[in-house]
Chain A
């Protein structure tokens, strides 16, 4: 692959901690190889800041392979930047041109308070899972794996929903900061499998209730979440969750 070096201007959100107001700072990123990942470009910038005696920019990251869901930058008005089906860590500098100005912000949502600079607190997602995103089975109870055949189509559809990495890009992209795509992916993952059947109704009711309690907004079906999802989780999961919710509510009223 052809590569070259480019120079960029970065406008980055700086915020000391959750009590600080925060502001944008501008930095020059010089001589950036287009083979670098976006986070490697931040590594270079941070090394320079440290050498200059300044505070480096805090950001979340770990796997750098697009699977842990830790990285979370809002780049030029889009979660995870310009590429589709992609995470920040997998975005490469090939996506940018010489002289570009790039604006980088944290996820913005009431339920995701900023911890420092570009890091936010996403523990609300864990609490949504705690509300019911599991099958209640203790270790040691299981029967032979093949005693429960599952149609391939269903297993594949369940897997497609279970691929969610919990990064929160869906929330960040939504003008209402709704967590419907995240929650519905988990509801679908388990509702599509026979193992999820016994708790199907309580699960959806409790997870939706927790989602509301955390302060995530309502869904108005703009599809912004699906468009930015690094794992291309389908918005049809939201429709499935709505119908699961409806039938569970009707049943629980009986």
Chain B
């Protein structure tokens, strides 16, 4: 039943997924070990589809998916994988009439957690970790958006999964909760594999040792945040004046402009000086570059 110890938690080769005539994933290859991996990409890039395939929620149309060395297409493999993973979907859809505690207890039963006492201990543990303990008797439908998001996170944490798939987990969280979330995930990443899809570059910068950029169903970047920033060096400028068309720019609070130029050699003109790129600059440049190429 148990998988070969050496098998990587996530191993994907040539993963293709169609929705009718639309192809959301066009041959994704990746292999993930411990630590946090950030999944970046524009809307519709295929992040959610990839996570759902990893979460055994969707079947691959083609290609090979192995999680802990197990095949999710086989019933036995799927059950074992599901025991070992936690998934926070992009739009968590919970039974509105349950209480917070009741819902997590129910999910814990579905996750095959042991006796009633062990289960309740585990539910209390994840409630404390997501700062929802005081709301444990509230009905789910009475929770605020951010609380619901934390509830979804709590559900994903049940049973201490080895693989944690988080699809935009920080949407709706206030700054304090976001910091809590970051420290929680970085703690978990010591022992498990975390995949984090997000549009919040700060979260990626703060958490991820590895970044995957998806674009139109393909992986266009796979490396460390440092690698990504490195590629942007010399293409980020700040200065007074009008940068003109053809490059991405925005006005800063002090009235000057920050400009991203697609090609390293192009200066937006006099009055602009090259500055240290941020991860966000790099991400924008990288996905923009690809767009320029296509």
Partners in one complex: no
- Spell out B's residues near A (CB within 8 Å): none
- Spell out A's residues near B (CB within 8 Å): none
